[in-house]
Amino acid sequence: MKKAILIIWLSLGSAFATAKPVGVAIWDPAPGRAPQMLASAQAAAEIHRSLGATVAMHLDTLGRLHYVVTFEDWDGWASFNEDLPKSDAWRQWQGRAATDPAAKQVENYFMEEVVSADAPGRFTQIYLWEPLNGNVSAFLRDARQAREIHEAAGVDIAINVDQMNRVHYVMSYPSHAAFAAQRKAPNADFQAFSQRFSAAPMGRLVEVYTVTALP
């Protein structure tokens, strides 16, 4: 990984002042270097956890690493960013990553967590939405309605807003089997919701990530 902090911390403003800060960096491994990428990420995670961050890692269907850093509050985020540049271990990690990069960072999201997942599962789909006309509040009203339907069906939902005011709707399942079971049993309530949403959409779907959590 190149010599750079994994998460680019940008300011979102005060719309969700009590929300948790979340950073996601997506890394694309160099050909044949996925094992080295994962080893480097594990080493980075140890350092970040020692400085108070919560770290999770996922692989998507393209073999890219989604490196997720979460903080309980803004004070924790601030302390982490003040302490990280002072860390000898982090500086050493950066030096190794710069000398022998195993992956290239292809995307970076800095978000505020509007709705937290209760028990994130192993298999997850993330729907990235761009609210139309910048109307985040209206889109979030629809997202919360969808969440009620999905959680009633046993899907764990998180909702995040990133630095570009896009909404990440995160659907988490305990296993691939649980996802398959949902797909085999269409949800009539969600189908009705989708029809209403399609008739007067409040957002445009930009991307869908399908990821599996690493142990």
pLDDT in tens, 61-84: 999 999 999 999 999 999 999 999
Architecture per CATH, 116-213: 2-Layer Sandwich (3.30)
* b/e burial code for range 3-41 (CB count within 10 A of at least 16 → b): eeebbeeeebeeebeebbbbbbbbbbbeeeebebbbebb
Residue 189 has pLDDT above 70, yes or no: yes
Secondary structure element (H or E) that encloses residue 149, with its range: helix 136-152
Fold of 20-112: Alpha-Beta Plaits (3.30.70)
Angle of the 88-99 helix axis to the 34-50 helix axis, nearest 10: 170
* b/e burial code for range 92-105 (CB count within 10 A of at least 16 → b): ebbeebeeebbbeb
Confidence band of 13 (pLDDT split at 50, 70, 90):
very low
Confidence band of 215 (pLDDT split at 50, 70, 90):
confident
Task: Identify the residue with better confidence: 17 or 60.
Answer: 60
Residue 92 has pLDDT above 80, yes or no: yes
Q: What are the residue ranges of CATH 3.30.70.100 in the chain? A: 20-112, 116-213
This prediction has a pTM of: 0.88
Non-local CB neighbours of 133 within 8 Å, separated by 6+ positions: none
Q: Rounded to a whole number, what is the distance in angstroms from the first to the last CA of the chain?
A: 21
pLDDT in tens, 102-155: 999 999 999 999 999 888 889 999 999 999 999 999 999 999 999 999 999 999
pLDDT in tens, 151-170: 999 999 999 999 999 999 99
Query: Is the dihedral angle over the CA atoms 127, 172, 115, 187 positive or is it negative?
Result: positive
Q: pLDDT at position 6, please? A: 36
